[in-house]
Structure formats: C-alpha cells, structure tokens
C-alpha cells in the first residue's frame, strides 16, 4: 500500500502541528507548493499572541527564490511597518521589540544609518578578534570531555560570550539574565521553551529583561563610553540625529535576539549536517582552511536559521497569478527559497563545494538585508575551524527540534567525539 502524495490543497502552513512535523516532510510540502501553487493563500496562523477575535488576517506565501528577492527589493510595495512575523503581535509589543526591522523609510533609513555608523570597519575588526578568541577558548574547554549536549556546551555559550563582549556586559548576574532573556525570546511557539507561560508572557517577560539591561547600562555608557557596541550606539548619529532611549532599548532587543538565537541554532545545525553527511565532514576535515568558507555558505542555505520574514502589501500586486491586495499579509519563506529547484542544482543535497550558492539565509536583499551577516559568517567560520581541526570526528545525528515557524531551532543535540589530549 502506498501513501498518497499530498497536493497543495492538503498543506496548511497556518497549522502549528505542521511545524512539529519532521523537517523532511515540511521540505517536501514546500516542494509541492513551489511546483503546484507557489503563491498560496492561507487562513490566519494558529497563534496565542492575540485573542481569537483579533487573529483574523490570513496571509499569502512566497515560496520561490525569485519572488522573495522581488518582494525584498521593493519596499514601496511590500512594507515592514506592520510586523515581520506571520503571527501578529499586539502593536505596543511590536514597537518595543522589533526596532527598525519593522519600519519603512524614512525612519528606517535614519536608524539603519545610525547603526551603520556604529558598525564602522575598525569596530568590526575588534568584534572579529573577539569571535575568534571565544571560539578557540570554548572548544579548549570542552575538547577533553568526549561527549555532551552540543547545544548546552557550545551553541548557547558561544554567541552568549560574543554578545557579552559585543555589548560590554559585566560578568555575573546581569550577563546571565540578559543572555537567558535573548535566548528564550523567540520560543513562544515551543512548549519546551514556554513551560507554564503564555506566549505573550514569555515574550514580554524576555523583552522587559532586555530593556532593564539597557536602562542599567546607559548612564555609565553615556558618562564613560567604552569600546563596545552599546557605547558606539549611544554616540553614533546619522544626519545629526541619535537614537532615543526607547529606540536604543528596541535595537538592543533586536540585536540580542539576532546575535544569540539565530547564530546559536545555526551552529547546532552545522554540527548536525556534518553528522548526517559524514562524506561532507571528511571533505571539510581534509582541508579545513581551504573549504571552510564554502562550507559556511552551505550550512546557512541548508539550515535556513530564519525560516521566514513577513511583509504587508501597501498596493495591489499580482504574483504568479495570485492577486495580492493592499493590506494583505505576505510571508517570505526563506527555507523554501533555499531549496528552490530553479536556483539550486540538487537542492536536497548537502554539498559544501556548492558554487555558486545564492542562498537567502540573510534575506533577499534590499534595505532590510541583515546587518549581522558578516559577523554570523565569522562566527560559523571560526567555530567550524576549531571543531573540525581539534575534534574532527564529532558526531551528533539525533537533534531535538523546537516547534517554531520563525526560527529553525534545535533545543538539544547530544554529541560524542574522541577527546583531545591535554
């Protein structure tokens, strides 16, 4: 007896249970959509963020690489100002947490300009030194153990340490509280992360903890600015303007989550992929220095740590025969675009020699292209270099995934390796 092949009508991207299914099934479902109905309409997404009587807006989905690039590069048609997730947050919560990623020009241009001033090249060189040093130190701490949960030992700790240096967080309770908040913020859909809290309670509690960190640190950074990102942000300006305190809090929240959660899960997916495809691990180990850069790009394509971003149409537009109306929600499924058969040869193969590799793990271009792309690549490059030079036979093929439609998360990744001699 054979199982019927699903059609696009059988696929419900709004169903939270869909996002608890194995990744292979979800990837297969998106392949069906790309083939049969690449711009489908869905009912309102299952969500705990709004009361049912307010969660009334369905959404269009973009599943093809070309369409996502088009939407990303035409902000005059596809706005970010109404929110960037398929699930709607209450307006006041969105404003306090999503910063300029949920804004359009002109304010988006101004705040991004201020941020770019802080991200000047000499500052980025300092961050790269921190990243390389932290990766080396962390693998030195765990290399002799021979086994452990890679998420707990490395994936959580490495971005946390980098972020702590990044923002000059003092060691101790404030540092731990801040990193914990950053790493639970996006877990509102996952029962394991959420525990007894509601989705809103989890999210708002984490955001308020992050705001409290900024409130604590701002007076000192204004009086005695140091060599850290918060000091740089306090001093940075664009067209004579600086960020307000509320804008600094929202930006800190955005960056805390981006720097911790997405990079945390990307590092776990890297180890998982090389465990599931040992031929590719052997290829990397044979020439780490020569192959690590293309390996990083393939990990980013394969993992798609950020599953989607959302826009809102501000004018009527037709894509592949679907008539999108002004005011409609439009979801850009990066995870689908990174498996698009029209762009990638053999897209379901993990291939660290893939070239070219025009993945859109950091977005499809345009004004919202990820500011942290270079830093994320540096972190993965540094980590993969340390791991596959020093504990190259690490194996971790059995993940425990998060239930989520925004972040491609891994909660646990038990690993074994030959201990490094001291």
Q: Domains, the chain, ranges and CATH?
A: 8-413 (1.10.630.10)
The predicted pLDDT at position 2 comes to 44
- Residues 393, 278: contact at Cβ < 8 Å? no
The predicted pLDDT at position 210 comes to 92
Cα 264 from chain centre? 9
The predicted pLDDT at position 5 comes to 61
Strands 322-324 and 317-319 turn out to be antiparallel
The predicted pLDDT at position 1 comes to 40
The predicted pLDDT at position 368 comes to 86
The predicted pLDDT at position 170 comes to 86
Rounded to whole angstroms, the Cα distance separating 214 from 272 reads 35
Tokens of 203: 């999210």
- Residues 84, 331: contact at Cβ < 8 Å? no
pLDDT tens-place values along the chain, 422 residues long:
444 567 888 999 999 999 999 999 999 999 999 999 999 999 999 999 999 999 999 999 999 999 999 999 999 999 999 999 999 988 888 877 777 687 788 877 877 777 776 666 676 677 788 889 999 999 999 999 999 999 999 999 998 888 888 788 888 999 999 989 988 888 888 888 889 999 889 999 999 999 999 999 999 999 999 888 888 888 877 778 888 888 888 888 888 887 777 888 999 999 999 999 999 999 999 999 999 999 999 999 999 999 999 999 999 999 999 999 999 999 999 999 999 999 999 999 999 999 999 999 999 999 888 877 888 899 999 999 999 999 999 999 999 999 999 999 999 999 999 999 87
Rounded to whole angstroms, the Cα distance separating 287 from 136 reads 18
Which CA distances in Å does 342 have to 151, 306, 366?
34, 21, 21
H or E stretch at 57 = none
């Amino acid at each position: 007896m054979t199982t019927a092949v699903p059609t696009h009508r059988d696929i419900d991207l709004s169903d939270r249970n869909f996002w608890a299914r194995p990744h292979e099934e979800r990837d297969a479902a998106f392949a069906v959509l790309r083939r049969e109905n690449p711009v489908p309409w869905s009912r309102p997404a299952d969500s705990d963020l709004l009361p049912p009587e307010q969660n009334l807006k369905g959404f269009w989905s973009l599943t093809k690489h070309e369409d996502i690039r088009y939407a990303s590069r035409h902000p005059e048609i596809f706005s970010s100002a109404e929110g960037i997730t398929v699930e709607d947050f209450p307006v006041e919560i969105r404003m306090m947490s999503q910063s300029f990623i949920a804004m359009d020009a002109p304010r988006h241009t101004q705040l991004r300009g201020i941020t770019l001033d802080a991200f000047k090249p000499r500052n980025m060189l300092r961050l790269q030194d921190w990243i390389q040093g932290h990766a080396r130190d962390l693998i030195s701490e765990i290399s002799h153990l021979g086994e452990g949960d890679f998420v707990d030992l490395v994936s959580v700790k490495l971005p946390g340490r980098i972020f702590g240096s990044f923002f000059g967080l003092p060691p101790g309770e404030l540092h731990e509280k801040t990193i914990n908040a950053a790493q639970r913020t996006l877990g509102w859909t996952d029962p394991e992360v959420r525990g007894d809290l509601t989705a809103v309670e989890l999210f708002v509690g984490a955001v308020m903890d992050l705001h409290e960190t900024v409130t604590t640190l701002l007076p000192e950074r204004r009086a005695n600015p140091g060599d850290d990102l918060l000091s740089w942000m306090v001093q940075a300006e664009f067209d004579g303007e600086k960020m307000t305190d509320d804008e600094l809090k929202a930006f800190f929240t955005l960056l805390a989550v981006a720097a911790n959660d997405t990079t945390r899960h990307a590092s776990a997916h890297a180890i998982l992929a090389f465990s599931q495809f040992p031929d590719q691990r052997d290829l990397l180990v044979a020439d780490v220095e020569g192959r690590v850069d293309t390996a990083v790009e393939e990990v980013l394509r394969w993992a798609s740590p950020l599953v989607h971003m959302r826009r809102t149409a501000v004018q009527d537009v037709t894509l592949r025969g679907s008539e999108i109306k002004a005011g409609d929600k439009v979801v850009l499924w990066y995870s689908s675009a990174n498996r698009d058969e029209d762009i990638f040869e053999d897209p379901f193969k993990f291939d660290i020699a893939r070239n070219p590799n025009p993945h859109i793990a950091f977005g499809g271009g345009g004004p919202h292209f990820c500011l942290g792309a270079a830093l994320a690549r540096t972190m993965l490059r540094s980590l993969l270099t340390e791991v596959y030079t020093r504990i190259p036979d690490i194996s971790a093929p059995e993940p425990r995934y998060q239930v989520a439609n925004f972040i491609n998360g891994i909660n646990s990744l038990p690993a074994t390796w030959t201990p490094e001699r001291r």
